[in-house]
């Protein structure tokens, strides 16, 4: 659905989408416990890379999360040669639409990021799809940047499955990050720039609303935008 629309967007850079709302809205948020295993406190900015369907909504959620200094939509799981939207949309590149999250571990832990990811950012029980979008590029995946992140992610999935907080088993795959490739400029800050676009309004705005409701202590009203980060660098 998004592929044909964004082909036009890329060609015209008009960014004025007009298409019917999808057949189903974003999945309802699920209240889940915090991880019992979390990363140790550390200094400096750290990186988390996650995939959970269309990167517009996932990026939007973490741009409204306190402690996140930047959240960039992009691609992970494939090669640099295939890291462009049209090619990734074929579902044959190995890439997943992903979000690279730079965060301050003194303000938010890696485990808290995963709690938000599993609870409000996407449904981790959907295999190779998310809501109205289907294909391996929309899979649920965690790309770890350290052995500690791998340990935390795997332990948390086991914890949530063991507690049966979801009606079905979690299908999220955990693997080592090889590389992250930022997506095209017109994908960045998309939720903030197009809040009334039907896809965003129906699928993604509810995710930010659920973040505000379920993670009030981690929610910030003003999003941390990619465009603002570039302007200050």
Residues belonging to the active site: 54
Q: What does the CA dihedral 132, 97, 213, 109 come to, rounded to 10 degrees? A: 150
Task: Give the whole-angstrom CA distance, residue 125 versus residue 75.
Answer: 21
8 A C-beta contact, residue 145 and residue 49:
yes
* Distance in Å from the first CA to the final CA of the chain: 35
Of 30, 55, 205, which Cα lies nearest the Cα of 124? 30
C-beta atoms surrounding 33 within 10 Å:
12
Residue 185: DSSP 8-state: G
């Amino acid at each position: 659905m998004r592929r044909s629309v964004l082909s036009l967007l890329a060609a015209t850079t008009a960014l004025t989408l007009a298409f019917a709302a999808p057949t189903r809205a974003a999945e309802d948020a699920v209240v889940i416990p915090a991880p019992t295993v979390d990363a140790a406190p550390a200094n400096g900015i750290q990186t988390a890379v996650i995939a959970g369907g269309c990167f517009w909504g996932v990026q939007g959620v973490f741009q409204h999360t306190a402690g996140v200094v930047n959240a960039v939509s992009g691609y992970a799981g494939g090669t640099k040669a295939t890291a462009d939207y049209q090619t990734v949309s074929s579902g044959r590149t190995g890439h997943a639409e992903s979000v690279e999250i730079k965060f301050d571990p003194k303000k938010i832990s890696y485990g808290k990021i995963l709690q938000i990811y599993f609870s409000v950012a996407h449904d981790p029980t959907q295999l190779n799809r998310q809501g109205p979008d289907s294909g391996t590029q929309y899979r649920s995946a965690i790309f770890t940047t350290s052995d500690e992140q791998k340990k935390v992610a795997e332990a948390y999935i086991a914890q949530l499955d063991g507690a049966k907080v979801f009606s079905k088993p979690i299908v999220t795959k955990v693997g080592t990050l090889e590389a992250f490739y930022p997506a095209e400029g017109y994908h960045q800050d998309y939720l903030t720039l197009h809040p009334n676009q039907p896809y965003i309004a129906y699928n993604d705005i509810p995710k930010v609303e659920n973040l505000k409701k379920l993670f009030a202590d981690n929610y910030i009203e003003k999003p941390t935008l990619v465009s603002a980060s570039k302007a200050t660098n």
